[in-house]
Structure 1
Amino acid sequence: MIIIAGKLYVDAAARDAYLAGCSKVIEQARAAPGCLDFALSADMIEANRINVYERWETDEDLERFRGAGPEPEQAAQIRDAAVSRYRISGVEAP
């Protein structure tokens, strides 16, 4: 299992519009083969932060969906980012 998690920073005044522009991508990701979860959300504390969480069955599923990455218009709005890929070898119930 692969988890992509982290944060993006955009201008605070543009965050809601940025997220609204991502709704189609979120729908496509959740419908993609191998996608177990996909979420982008506004941070409750930092007005310019977007939290990223994705969970995929395999690297191949992720790469097939990901393609080239965000659209150029969206990429231009990102001021900073810290997103990492985690390879999970097992899952346990809490």
Structure 2
Amino acid sequence: MKIVANNGHAVDKPTARSEQPGVAKTGGGAPAVLGTVNAELESRVLGPAQEALAALPEIDQAKVDALREALARGEIGFDADRLARLIQRYHGAGR
């Protein structure tokens, strides 16, 4: 199967890396030591951020209400055709 990048050029198959003696590998091929370091880093650094993110509501209803009111008052415009073009471009229509 040929893999093509966004620029239309073929993506080269990665070359095999040389093995380092005495370093255990995980199932994904990364050294086991890196897996431990990454897990510790994630728990120490990203843990609090993930907890804060989980505590936030999925939708900021106050912002939704403010935008809805601004649209109703005509303070901001809405271009449905532009939105449709952006959605098509994002999802790759017309390629």
Larger Rg: 2
Of Structure 1 and Structure 2, which has the larger fraction of its residues in helix? 2
| Bin of the TM-score, shorter chain as denominator length | under 0.3
Compute the TM-score of the two structures, normalised by the length of structure 2: 0.22
By relative contact order (CA 8 Å, sep 6+), the higher-ranking structure is: 1
Compute the TM-score of the two structures, normalised by the length of structure 1: 0.23
